[in-house]
Structure 1
Amino acid sequence: MAGGSRMSRAVMLADYSHGPAIESLDLGPVLPGGALVRIDAATVCGTDVHISDGVFGNLARLPLVMGHEGTGTVVELGPGLERDALGQPIRIGDRVVWAHNWCGRCYFCAVAKQPTLCENTMGYGWGPYEEGVVNGTFSEHLHVSPDSRVLWVPESVSSPLASAATCALRTVMHALDRMPRIRFSDTVVVLGAGPVGVLAAAAAVRSGADQVVLIGAPGSRLAATESWELTARINIDDTEPDERIDAVRNMTEGRGADIVLECAGPPDAFTEGMEMVRAGGTLMVIGQAHGETVPVPTTAMKVRQLTVRTSLSADISHFHDALRFLDRHGGELGLESVVCSRVYSLDQVTDALVAMRSGAEMKPVIIP
């Protein structure tokens, strides 16, 4: 874009009462180690809906450019950015994804080696907007920060699907990294049929588990996975919790699942997962984003020797894992048609948020 227009249309959220609006923003210079990308596709996350609705309060700093999931083509490279996180050369015209920033200097980055807990992290789409720096994906262009890690996108992975990998699938990969490896004899239950749950089920299927059960709603999302090698799909709209718990136990000779991946969010999902996991099994909490308190039966956890683990976000290694998974399995599983739904323009972003809020679509796609 050198010498050309230095403006970009973007979806700004300046105050909650007026909601998102399109603005033309100045594109400032690219910093050393950073990049400017043209957004090829952005996908809508439930977090975007929560930010728009003001659910996160001061965690979202207004005004902000909305959107944190995206794939883009490099149009400018700052001095010093020559290779991606894998050491591959990065050039103008390459299609890339980028991770949010970790400082690399705080205790959690440098000592604990847990960058997802970084004390100074900067996430795209969380604000605040600074003049000349477009740092949200619901836009025509985005400034990739010098502190971000960049990854080249495989040719076999579409831009909408790669965009979904930058949140939902990398979250799944981090969760799987924080728990025992799935064994060939394992029964894995996935609670929740949103993007995270559906992608977790896909990962469990390709991890070689003996049985994979997907529990959630609506029925259309379960039906979309019909070609997958799932043992069962259970619609929560048609069943009661006791029925679902009994169904899992009946599949496992009365023991319960070896692994339960809670990807749903509501407090009841945690309670249900505790009843579904076998003694000595693992409950991985990926959902539970509603900020509500859940009673924890500590005595039962101890007596049954349960392992309860949690996982938040991901680091660059999990972005890489997500892209590799899509490169190898995305086509055979038909993930783009399952996960990525209707395409919207920037001017239709309010409609895309409504579709995500209502659950009518799994991952609305925004093409600027």
Structure 2
Amino acid sequence: MDIPSSTRAAVLTAHGSALELIDLPLPVRPEPGAALVRILCTTLCGTDIEIWSGKMSFPGMLPMVLGHEMVGEIVAVGDDARDALGRDLTVGDRIGWSESTCGACHGCAVLREPVACSHRGYGFLQRSDAPPYATAGLSEYAYVVPHAAKLLLPESVPDTWAAMAGCAAKTVLRAFSRVGGVRPGSRVVVQGSGALGLFATAVAHLSGAGKVITVGAPSTRLALAREFGADATVDIAEGSEATVAQVRELTGGHGADLVLDFAGAPSVGREAVEMAAQRGRVVIVGSTGPGSEALALGTVMGKELSIVGSLNGDIADYHDAIEFFTSFPERMPWDRLFGPRVGLAEASARITAMSRHEEIKAVIDPRLT
């Protein structure tokens, strides 16, 4: 096919406003190591909603194209373009990709930790009024920059699953890895019943937890959590004290051996510490805002808790997420996480629906009119 010179994209120009459909220029040809892809599927993430609403914001970020969970088909490729496993990339390949890293900063060279890269670049952090313009998911075509970590995708993994693996699924798997995984027969509490919380519920169940308790709202999400392996659920509508009391009752008064925060509400950290068992482990993943309540440090000390932070994930976690879906395709109703495919013109409506908790993960297919 002819290489397109421009792409239609849904651009966020002001927080809280409808996205604008705008034509953006594309590079004449990909640089060495880069690729131009036709977007096949983009799944919206909670971060997209936080950026849209303005909860997550920084000076000079707008205008931008949202979407960082996506799958694309290569339509043009630069010289020496390979995926993270060294496999050559060619026109027609279906790929996913993670953020770009510089490979030379303290995080990359000393810590050898891609998520700590000082110049870590997500597609949605690229302004849409400056080159290379379109690098994110809510566009017909996207430019995958040379240092983005690319991954050839197996045919057995559907577009929606592969897109979700690019952020939500890899974030969850990294959190479990950071804390040493699930001990067989242990009691696990998942705080949050959004996409991350539901996926984490499934991971905990499939990993051999003795009891999985999902804490969240609304009731429809908690009912779905049971389909994803929750043995019990707790509705946060009854308040913080009642939430902790119910978890302790469900764990025989001991508390949870592992608590994972995928909710990010201000009270989550305090509740996690209170509902954790003696020498329990707590992983903080969803608390992205500055408004969290203070932790009871005396309780942390007295229980000898281990508290670990976990930030997103890198290409290794992305690879693991794809392998996870490959290993457990029939074990959970994964498709229940996704809404119907809609085109770019419907992206604003789907973002609003997600912000109102009416949809778990919206699916945008830019090929649809």
Measured against the shorter chain, the TM-score band is over 0.9
- 2:278 corresponds to: 279
- 2:204 corresponds to: 204
Q: Distance in 2 between matches of 1:299 and 1:42?
A: 44
Aligned residue type for 1:68: H
Aligned-pair CA distance for 1:215: 1.2
Q: Distance in 2 between matches of 1:70 and 1:271?
A: 34
- 1:259 corresponds to: 258
Q: Distance in 1 between matches of 2:258 and 2:198?
A: 16
- 2:349 corresponds to: 351
Q: Distance in 2 between matches of 1:187 and 1:330?
A: 25
SS at match of 2:148: coil
Output the aligned Cα RMSD. 1.8
Q: Distance in 1 between matches of 2:16 and 2:173?
A: 36
Q: Distance in 2 between matches of 1:206 and 1:311?
A: 21
- 1:362 corresponds to: 360
The answer to whether 1:122 aligns with 2:93 is no
SS at match of 1:110: helix
76 and 246 in structure 1: CA distance in 2 versus 1, 3 angstrom threshold:
same
- 1:24 corresponds to: 23
- 1:178 corresponds to: 178
Do 1:60 and 1:126's aligned partners in 2 also have CA atoms closer than 8 Å?
no
Q: Distance in 2 between matches of 1:127 and 1:279?
A: 45
**Unaligned runs of at least 5 residues, structure 1:** none
89 and 33 in structure 1: CA distance in 2 versus 1, 3 angstrom threshold:
closer
Q: Distance in 2 between matches of 1:249 and 1:17?
A: 39
Do 1:345 and 1:367's aligned partners in 2 also have CA atoms closer than 8 Å?
yes
State which drifts further: 59-68 or 283-292: 59-68
- 1:76 corresponds to: 76
State which drifts further: 152-161 or 186-195: 152-161
Aligned-pair CA distance for 1:233: 1.9
Aligned-pair CA distance for 1:19: 4.2
- 2:104 corresponds to: 105
Q: Structure 1 length normalisation: TM-score?
A: 0.94
SS at match of 1:75: strand
- 1:244 corresponds to: 243
Do 2:199 and 2:228's aligned partners in 1 also have CA atoms closer than 8 Å?
no
Do 1:20 and 1:52's aligned partners in 2 also have CA atoms closer than 8 Å?
no
Aligned residue type for 1:77: V
Aligned-pair CA distance for 1:151: 0.9
- 1:308 corresponds to: 307
Aligned residue type for 1:344: V
Do 1:161 and 1:340's aligned partners in 2 also have CA atoms closer than 8 Å?
no
Aligned-pair CA distance for 1:20: 1.8
The answer to whether 1:330 aligns with 2:326 is no
Do 2:201 and 2:229's aligned partners in 1 also have CA atoms closer than 8 Å?
no
Aligned-pair CA distance for 1:291: 2.0
132 and 184 in structure 1: CA distance in 2 versus 1, 3 angstrom threshold:
closer
- 1:41 corresponds to: 41
Aligned-pair CA distance for 1:95: 1.3
SS at match of 1:267: coil
Q: Distance in 2 between matches of 1:15 and 1:176?
A: 36
Aligned-pair CA distance for 1:132: 4.8
Q: Distance in 2 between matches of 1:359 and 1:87?
A: 40
State which drifts further: 140-149 or 20-29: 20-29
49 and 317 in structure 1: CA distance in 2 versus 1, 3 angstrom threshold:
same
State which drifts further: 246-255 or 141-150: 246-255
Do 1:59 and 1:126's aligned partners in 2 also have CA atoms closer than 8 Å?
no
- 1:152 corresponds to: 152
Aligned-pair CA distance for 1:59: 5.8
SS at match of 1:100: strand
For residues 31-77 of structure 1, the C-alpha deviation after alignment (integer angstroms, 9 at most, x for no partner) is 11011111111011222122223333326622222221111111111
Q: Distance in 2 between matches of 1:317 and 1:60?
A: 31
**Unaligned runs of at least 5 residues, structure 2:** none
Aligned length: 364
For residues 102-151 of structure 1, the C-alpha deviation after alignment (integer angstroms, 9 at most, x for no partner) is 11111111111222121111111122232454111100011111001111
Aligned residue type for 2:126: G
185 and 102 in structure 1: CA distance in 2 versus 1, 3 angstrom threshold:
same
For residues 140-191 of structure 1, the C-alpha deviation after alignment (integer angstroms, 9 at most, x for no partner) is 0111110011112222221112111111111111111211221112111001
